[in-house]
Amino acid sequence: MKISHIISFLVSTSTVALAQSFCDATGHSGESIKVNGNKIGKIGNVDYQLWADGGNNSATFYSDGSFSCAFQTSIDYLCRTGMSFNNGKTHSQIGHITADFKVVKQSITNVGYAYVGVYGWTKNPRVEYYVVDDWLSPQRPGDWLGNQKQGDFTIDGAEYTVYKNVRSDLTQYFSLRKVGRSCGSINVSAHFQQWEKLGMTMGTIDEVKVLAEIGNSNGGVTGTVEFPYAKVYL
């Protein structure tokens, strides 16, 4: 076997082994903080945020990046961990961004919509963005995600549908995976690059975080979601 083939094989094998290792994660480790109500904070080197509209909500965040989400009759609930920047840099200036996650779907009632993946904001322009790799709803989200469907694209080896949603108060970008997965690595920079190719301007990056968002405007949603592994890194 050629040396180049051996090196390629070793890199491929180590990558698979690493993916399998965090996909086997079952619990949390490190320091923890339980948050009740909306809060932005930091534990260790991990930035976190809980935000919810209505209901009785909480989240527990750990210094290893993992987290637990709990919500009761919430209209809209978001919990997330990862990296905050706020340094006026674009994604190309920051460097290559990757997010690893594992989600465990637990008992959830009255779910209307639910996204699992990567989430954040940009400035200049102000954009709320999502890379949706899984969902906690019975069906995959539909074309209602965006009023400008950009098409289907292969991004980092997986098929995604890309949307732009222009609302009166903000602009949203979505990459929606064709087949959901409960664990994996998301090449965040690849999505940023694809959006820019489509004319979807990326400003300076505020945050990149692993996210669970869930809600229902009709009576709220109740349940729990576990992320035994979540990490955003350069």
Distances (CA, A) of 201 to 83, 126, 194, 195: 21, 10, 10, 7
Cα dihedral 67, 71, 75, 77, rounded to 10, equals: -10
Amino acid at site 205: I
Pick left, alpha or beta for residue 37 (phi over 0 → left; psi -120 to 50 → alpha; otherwise beta). Answer: left
Q: Which of 118, 115, 162 is nearest to 137 (CA)?
A: 115
| Marked catalytic residue, from 31, 196, 213, 226 | 213
Under a CB-based contact definition with an 8 Å cutoff, are residues 205 and 85 in contact?
A: yes
Please say if 159 is a catalytic residue. no
| Dist CA 52 CA 77 (whole Å) | 4
Please say if 128 is a catalytic residue. yes
| Long-range contacts of 153-156, Cβ-Cβ distance < 8 Å, separation of 24 or more | 153/194, 155/187, 155/190, 155/191, 155/194, 156/186, 156/187, 156/190, 156/191
| Marked catalytic residue, from 31, 128, 159, 226 | 128
Distances (CA, A) of 175 to 88, 103, 184, 205: 24, 18, 15, 17
Would you name the residues annotated as active-site residues?
128, 213
